[in-house]
Amino acid sequence: MSNFMPKKEHLREALIHYFILKKSAAESYRILREAYGEHAPSQDTCERWFKRFKSDDFDVKDKEHPGQPKKFEDQQLQALLDEDACQTQELLSERVNVAQQTIPDHLQAMGNILKEGKWVPHQLNKRQMENRKIISKMLLQQHEESLFCIEL
């Protein structure tokens, strides 16, 4: 079986195809379930889309809802962290105008973790790795020199 993961829009376009072929929502659900398994939309979702199609709305994109949280770009969040990595989740959520619980999810997806009150990258960059290597060599050299002095 292929590793193809259908996007919502692909599945909705397939539903339009079945709608035009006069298939029922339930039949369309069974076909999609057979083809995509757990990635297929639910039967309720298929029925909801068929109602939309019956009202001549064939737009497969999600509609904006008044209660839906505002979407923001990770670059906007990264820019705020670049200003000050010690900002609280509450302050970050206010500045990007989203729910507070959204912030840690985005930060973790961006590869950041909270360390001692600062959001820092989980992975070291090349400069940080090189600095650690240099410092480790210096410490090892100091340790070897101090052992040499004690043996005399």
What's the CA gap between 104 and 112, in Å, rounded?
9
pLDDT tens digits, 78-95: 888 888 878 888 888 888
Q: Which residue range is the domain that position 14 belongs to? A: 8-54
Total structural domains within the chain? 3
Question: Could you tell me the pTM of the whole model?
Answer: 0.44
List the CATH number of the domain containing 12. Answer: 1.10.10.1450
pLDDT averaged over every residue in the chain: 83
Q: Is the pLDDT of residue 69 over 60?
A: no
pLDDT tens digits, 5-39: 888 899 999 999 999 999 999 999 999 999 888 88
Domain shared by 100 and 130, yes or no = no
pLDDT-based confidence at residue 1 (cuts at 50, 70, 90): very low
For the ranges 15-19, 43-47, 62-66, 126-130, the lowest mean pLDDT is seen at 62-66
Domain shared by 115 and 150, yes or no = no
What's the CA gap between 103 and 81, in Å, rounded?
12
Q: Is the pLDDT of residue 71 over 70?
A: no
The answer to the question of residue 18 being in a domain is yes
The answer to the question of residue 60 being in a domain is no
Task: Characterize 18-39 residue by residue with b for buried, 16 or more Cβ atoms within 10 angstroms of its Cβ, and e for exposed.
Answer: bbeeebebeebbebbbeebeee
The answer to the question of residue 59 being in a domain is no
Q: Is the pLDDT of residue 124 over 90?
A: no
The pLDDT assigned to 48 comes to 93
Q: Is the pLDDT of residue 70 over 60?
A: no
